[in-house]
Structure 1
Amino acid sequence: MTLTLKKSSIDSHQELSVKRKHINLFIAGTGAVGGTLTQLVSQLDHSLYELNIIGVCNSKFTQWNPDVDQLLNENRLTEGTPTDWDTIPDKLINNSKGNLVFVDATGSEIVARQYQNLLDHGVHIATPSKRANSFGQDYFDGLIKANNSGRAQYRYETAVGAGLPVISTLKTLLNSGDEITKITGVASGTMTYLFTQLQNGVPFSEAVKKAKEGGYSEPDPRDDLSGEDVARKFLILARTSGYKFERDQIRVDTLVPEKLISLSAEEFLDQLPEYDGHWKSRNAQAMVNNQKLRYIGTFTPEGINVGIEEVKGDSPLGGLKGTDNLIQIYTKRYNSSPIIVQGPGAGREVTAAGVLGDIIDIAEVILD
Structure 2
Amino acid sequence: MSITLNSITGKNISIYKSKKTIPVFIAGNGAIGGTLIRQINHLNNALFQVKIVGVCNSKKVIWNSDPVLYHEKLKYSDEETNWENITNKLARYPEGLIFIDATGSEIVARQYLKLLTQGIHITTPSKRANTFEQSYFEELKAFQKPGRAQYRYETAVGAGLPVISTINNLIESGDSITKITGVVSGTMTYIFNQLQQGITFSEIIKAAKKEGYSEPDPRDDLSGEDVARKFLIMARTCGYKFERDQIKVESLVPKELIDYQVNGFLDHLSFYDDHWKNRNSQALLNNKRLRYTGEFTPDGIEIGIKEVPAGSPLGGLRKTDNLIQIYSERYADSPIVIQGPGAGKEVTAAGVLSDIIEIGRGI
Q: Verify same fold: TM over 0.5.
A: yes
Give 1:271's match in structure 2, choosing from 262, 268, 271: 268
Q: Which residue of 2 aligns with 1:45?
A: 44
Q: Write the deviation string for residues 110-164 of structure 1: whole angstroms up to 9, x where unpaired.
A: 0000001101110000100000000011000000112215220011000001000
User: Retained in 2: the 8 A contact 1:26–1:103?
Assistant: yes
Which amino acid in the other structure matches residue 93 of structure 1? A
Q: TM-score when scaled to structure 2? A: 0.95
2:356 matched residue in structure 1: 359
Mapped contact 1:119–1:147 kept (Cα < 8 A): no
Q: SS in structure 2 opposite 1:145?
A: helix
Q: Does 1:236 align with 2:219?
A: no
In the alignment, which residue of structure 2 is the partner of 1:318?
315
Q: Is the 8 A contact 1:27 1:56 kept in 2?
A: yes
User: Any gaps of 5 or more consecutive residues in structure 1?
Assistant: none
Contact 1:56–1:62 at 8 Å: present in 2 too?
yes
Alignment of 1:272-287 (within 5 A): 272-287=269-284
Q: Which residue of 2 aligns with 1:116?
A: 113
Superposition map of 1:200-349 within 5 A: 200-349=197-346
Structure 2 residue runs of 5 or longer lacking an equivalent are: 1-7
| C-alpha spacing 1:289/1:99, structure 2 compared with 1 (3 Å) | same
How much has 1:85 moved relative to structure 2?
A: 1.2
For 1:265 and 1:314, the matched residues in 2 are separated by 36
Aligned to 1:190: 187
Give the CA deviation at 1:77.
3.4
Cα distance in 1, alignment partners of residues 130 and 91 from structure 2: 22
Q: Is the 8 A contact 1:34 1:105 kept in 2?
A: yes
Equivalent residue of 1:343, what SS? strand
Aligned identity (percent) is 61
The alpha carbon displacement at 1:71 in A equals 2.4
Partner of 1:61: 60
In the TM superposition, what whole-angstrom CA distance separates every residue of 1:170-228 from its partner, at most 9, and x where no partner exists? 11111111110000000000000000000110010110001001110000000000000
1:85 aligned residue: 83
In 2, the alpha carbon distance for the partners of 1:157 and 1:180 equals 17
1:53 alignment partner AA = I
Which position in structure 2 is the counterpart of 1:136?
133
Matched, 1:15 2:16: yes
d(CA) in 2 for partners of 1:85 and 1:311?
46
Contact 2:32–2:346, Cα closer than 8 Å, also in 1: yes
Partner Cα separation in structure 2 for residue 47 and residue 338 of structure 1: 37
Equivalent residue pairs, number: 355
The runs of at least 4 aligned residues of structure 1 exceeding 3 Å deviation read: 2-5
Return the TM-score normalized by structure 1.
Answer: 0.94
Structure 2 distance, partners of 1:280, 1:32, is 29
* In 2, Cα distance between equivalents of 1:68 and 1:360: 18
Q: In the TM superposition, what is the alpha-carbon distance from 1:24 to its structure 2 partner?
A: 0.2
The answer to whether the Cα contact below 8 Å between 1:121 and 1:151 also exists between their aligned partners in 2 is no
Give the whole-Å Cα distance in 2 for the aligned partners of 1:33 and 1:170. Answer: 24
